Amino acid sequence: MNICYDEARGVFKLDTPNTSYAMALADGKWLGQVYYGPRLESTDLAWLLGADQPPFTPQRHPREEVSFYDCFPTEYPVENSGDFRIPCLSVRTARNQIDCMPVFSRWELLPGKPALEGLPATFGDSEDCNTLKIVLEDAAIGLEIELFYTAFTRLDVITRSVRIVNNGPEPVWLERALSACLSLPYEGRQLMTLHGSWARERQIQTCEIGVGIQGTASCRGIPSHQDQPFLALTSRDVTQERGEVFAMHLVYSGGFTAQVQRDQFNRLRAVLGICPDTFCWKLAPGAAFQAPEAVLTYSAAGLGRMTRTLHDLYREHLIRSKYLHAPRPVLINNWEATYFDFDEEKLLGIAKRASELGIELFVLDDGWFCPRHTDSGGLGDWQVDPEKLPHGLKGLAEQINALGMQFGLWMEPEMISPDSELYRAHPDWAIQTANHPALLCRDQLVLDLSRPEVEEYVWSRIEATLSSANIVYLKWDMNRPLTSLGSAGLPADRQGELSHRYVLALYRLQQRLLDRFPDLLLENCCGGGARFDPGMLYYSPQIWCSDDTDAIERLRIQEGTALLYPLSCMGAHVSDCPNHVVGRVTPFDTRGTVALAGTFGYELDVTRISPEEQRQIPAQIRRYHRHRALIQSGDYYRLSSLFGGCQLDAQMVVSKDKSEALVTLVWALNAPNQRRTPLCLQGLEPGAVYEDQETGRRWPGEVLLRAGLPAEGPKCDFEAKLIHLKRVR
């Protein structure tokens, strides 16, 4: 096993190929984190607890207990314990007191990795990973805290999760139950997070870590457009290829917190878990609460190593879909082509021309049900509009299939419109507080999935819709945050459970969907990319990246997304110009090149674009088919960033055996009198020779890596180029 316990020193150590994570016991009672970083063979690490210096441990120096807790590197810190830094756990007892003081109880080793009840999580057998279980106990209130650590054998990843069990005679309320805590020396490290808004998701931000608390969070009931459940602590000199990175990523699709605190002793504590602002869980006697999983990875070789580690983890140990490595159809979605203004004839006209151009899947977006001529009605009923679709979904799908295309559909199952038969019959099924009307967003409300009858109704509408026609793809959307948090189905002392229960019901629905329709290609969406998180990847192999489909804006969005997620996860389409979000005009070829770094598809009316643009579509599809497997499974390298100060945005994907690479170049605004700039590649074999498949020019691998590839300047604004290299010897 790659996990050991040195009983003489009281040290637990978990090893991955290049990293070690270690904890130690002080006086056999207090569990502290002592090390995370490059792999160590020794377990002589307990001295890092600092228990041999003032204020010493409470057993040795009982008059300074508070001072001990306030500086001890506690592995799972609790509130109101004398530790005044960010806590992971806050327990309110039946006496309405924050009161929990757990100490070490026992441990065990588990082969492989146990699943988390009701939650998505990474998976692996005993050849892939092993798991350490450590139990902390507060005997006074009867609470056990089970800490799970999984160390992967072929990846530099350690995952963490927490299960809390109430063995006492009275209920307790968990007001905070985070998933992981990381303790590190400050050493000038910086904080990296991902931020944004609608249509500009996952923008990379790096900042200094000052004394105090900073970080990112979402209390919106979804990870949100604005924030990502991720943080990284990096060395000041970090680049793609150099420097240290300590990263934490939460496998969860609800509100979260990701914070770091620099304390009085110049140490850092980073925490990650469910957002405590909208969380309070009543834990009855005999009950257990399972917190989501946190993914931890350490890189001593820059951000690129972190990225490739997470990509491999999510492809090999999180995404379960049959489409993970299989060819995915090139689709066309009618949303930006028609919005709500369509009928069967218009849809079939677009589909017919799309099929002639080689597009393989037609997706019908919002507006197919009634009343739905705007975004102000019909959500929850899901009744086909007979005026738009006189032959129903079944008839439309049959006509699409007759063109040689597959048929897909958009739904927003979690929502309810005030203008719907469902709301008129069950207004209490919407999430809302008792004393105020629910707040509208996009003229819609959110169904209270925490109620079993509501969850069952939603499932009945999904199942009936997908069973009504030959539907092979579903785009599951969700277009607003959770507000007015209140449930008519929960008692007063459980209202704080609503947000998390909502997420658990969402996971049950998506699992039920996949069990019932195992061949369905599911793409999650949340008003664009507001639910682009690892939890969703457990159910869908791809997620709509952003509603902003402009090729230049997408460079920034896709760069931030690819920092954490495989390219095969990113829903990316070629759309019309001027772009519907920013009004920019970019070459059709550039739009196709940028969308190639994703799932690839179209979002426009192919009957209305120019003949020249129509002629490019078959070539773009052939190009996608040629490079699909490499993009889905290869190693990703970021070479330069348009938004990092370069005029050239460049990335490359290299096959695992280093025999093939695809380099993508996109320039911004052209400029006069420029000299050619060599671009150093990454990931290739230095001793090999590679051939440019377009020009036939051959390059020694070491030249491409160390001297560079000539990057000829653009001939116009927003020009793009692909360079396909193959090893010839």
Residue 444 lies in a domain: no
Residue with tokens 């799932």: 599
Same domain, 606 and 683: no
Range of the domain at 167: 3-317
Q: Number of structural domains, the chain?
A: 3
Dihedral sign, Cα of residue 364, residue 365, residue 369, residue 372: negative
Least confident of 52-61, 100-109, 147-156, 417-426: 52-61
CATH of residue 69: 2.70.98.60
Helical pair 498-516 and 452-467, crossing angle rounded to 10 deg: 30
In DSSP notation, 174-207 reads: EEEEEEEEEEEE-TT-EEEEEE--TTS--EEEEE
Same domain, 298 and 354: no
Same domain, 11 and 74: yes
Residue 591: its pLDDT value, please?
A: 98
Same domain, 181 and 68: yes
Residue 501 lies in a domain: no
What's the token pair of residue 429? Answer: 């099924």
- Please tell me the distance from the alpha carbon of residue 725 to that of residue 183, in angstroms, as a whole number: 43
- Cα–Cα nearest to 112, from 94, 127, 122, 101: 127
Q: How far is CA 105 from CA 31, 134, 147, 219, in A?
A: 10, 8, 11, 34
0.75 cut: is pTM over it?
Answer: yes
Residue 431 lies in a domain: no
- Please tell me the distance from the alpha carbon of residue 134 to that of residue 97, in angstroms, as a whole number: 26
Same domain, 240 and 384: no
Q: Is pLDDT of 459 > 90?
A: yes
Mean pLDDT to the nearest integer, 106-123: 97
Same domain, 36 and 93: yes
Same domain, 404 and 549: yes
Which are the catalytic amino acids?
477, 547
Same domain, 109 and 233: yes
Residue 701 lies in a domain: yes
Least confident of 57-66, 326-335, 386-395, 715-724: 57-66
Q: Is the peptide bond before 185 cis (omega within 30 degrees of 0)?
A: no
Round the average pLDDT of the chain to a whole number and report it: 97
Indicate the residue among 573, 599, 633 that finishes a domain: 633
What's the token pair of residue 11? Answer: 């040290």
Same domain, 129 and 20: yes
Mean pLDDT to the nearest integer, 58-67: 88
Residue 538: pLDDT band by 50, 70, 90 thresholds? very high
Residue 261: pLDDT band by 50, 70, 90 thresholds? very high
Dihedral sign, Cα of residue 105, residue 110, residue 113, residue 119: negative
What pLDDT, in 10s, does the model give residues 595-645? 999 999 999 999 999 999 999 999 999 999 999 999 999 999 999 998 888
- Please tell me the distance from the alpha carbon of residue 604 to that of residue 601, in angstroms, as a whole number: 10
- Please tell me the distance from the alpha carbon of residue 471 to that of residue 414, in angstroms, as a whole number: 20
Same domain, 281 and 361: no
For 260-280, the three-class secondary structure string (H helix, E strand, C coil) is EEECCCCEEEEEEEECHHHCC
What pLDDT, in 10s, does the model give residues 472-510? 999 999 999 999 999 999 999 999 999 999 999 999 999
For 2-68, the three-class secondary structure string (H helix, E strand, C coil) is CEEEECCCCEEEEECCCEEEEEEEECCCEEEEEEEEECCCCCCCHHHHCCCCCCCCCCCCHHHHHHH
- Please tell me the distance from the alpha carbon of residue 296 to that of residue 546, in angstroms, as a whole number: 26
Same domain, 96 and 234: yes
What's the token pair of residue 430? Answer: 């919407």
CATH of residue 647: 2.60.40.1180
Decide if 159 contacts 291 (C-beta within 8 A): no
CA 661 to chain centre: 26
AA identity, residue 672: P
Residue 188 lies in a domain: yes
Residue 424 lies in a domain: no
457: left (phi over 0), alpha (psi -120 to 50) or beta: alpha
Residue 506 lies in a domain: no
Same domain, 373 and 474: yes
Residue 76: pLDDT band by 50, 70, 90 thresholds? very high
Indicate the residue among 565, 599, 633 that finishes a domain: 633
Residue 310 lies in a domain: yes
- Cα–Cα nearest to 652, from 607, 704, 615, 605: 704
- Please tell me the distance from the alpha carbon of residue 556 to that of residue 74, in angstroms, as a whole number: 38
CATH of residue 581: 3.20.20.70
Residue with tokens 């805590």: 181
What's the token pair of residue 179? Answer: 């998933």
Indicate the residue among 607, 633, 659 that finishes a domain: 633
What pLDDT, in 10s, does the model give residues 644-695? 888 899 999 999 999 999 999 999 888 888 888 899 999 999 999 999 999 9
Contacts of 527 (CB under 8 A, 6+ apart): 198, 225, 477, 478, 479, 480, 547
Helical pair 344-356 and 392-402, crossing angle rounded to 10 deg: 20
